[in-house]
Amino acid sequence: MVKEFLYEDRAGLFAALASDCQAHLAKALADRGATTFMVSGGSTPAPLFEALSLSDLDWNNINVALVDERWVDKEHSASNEALIYRSLLINNAAKAPFTGMKTAAKSAAEGCAETESLYQALPKPFAISILGMGNDGHTASLFPHANGLAEALSEDNQQLTAPIAAKQSDVTGPNTERLTLTLNGLLQSERLIILLTGEEKLAVFRKAMTEGPVEDMPVRAVLRQNKVPVELYWAP
């Protein structure tokens, strides 16, 4: 079951979600002393991250890590790591430890083992994973019919991370080589929050909720699992 929180405007959406995330992160800290906050790139979550950066949380013990990353250097305009440094790891949250996915390896496949080791060391369960969704039905870097998709979604795959070679499209842009959390990695979260804006994205989400192959819309793997609560936060 997916819980839906639909707002009339984006200001209301981000205010509510920031308050919700702050409360859950505070509870995770109280329960375990340290926790992990998994975050996505893209422009949509930036207002959420900027609001959270002002929160009076014990950021020293909130490990921030990426849900996925393009295999580009952090100086690249497409780097999710760079976006997180600009939008979240500022103000009070500048103290948060950060774990990126991109390594010095030439490829995501070659760098995955190093990133996997870093991710295995993060405090678990992850408190929250913030996910987006593309118009093609991808989430994280789990792209339709991508090379590596089946392995990344396999219930037998106990790895937290996996390399993905997406099929180039208007959604992927030129940066098709990615590293992503696997389905198993996503299911290490206490909560999976899908953050969307706009009527077009809501229509894609509604389609993903219907029957159809996971390979066509990989977000379905997240929506159909019953181990971790999934929440949709949306505004026009």
120, 126, 117: which is closest to 39 by C-alpha? Answer: 126
What does the pLDDT look like over 43-61, one tens digit per residue?
Answer: 999 999 999 999 999 999 9
pLDDT tens readout for residues 56-112: 999 999 999 999 999 999 999 999 999 999 999 999 999 999 999 999 999 999 999
Pairing of strands 35-39, 2-6: unpaired
- Torsion angle of alpha carbons 86, 92, 97, 103, nearest 10°? 10
To which H or E segment does residue 69 belong? strand 68-70
What b/e sequence results for 84-95 when a residue is b if at least 16 CB atoms lie within 10 Å of its CB, and e otherwise? bbebbbeeebee
CA gap 168, 173 in Å, rounded: 6
pLDDT at 1 over 90: no
Q: Classify residue 189 by burial, with Cβ atoms within 10 Å: 0-12, 13-18, 19+.
A: buried
Structure tokens at 225: 């699992």
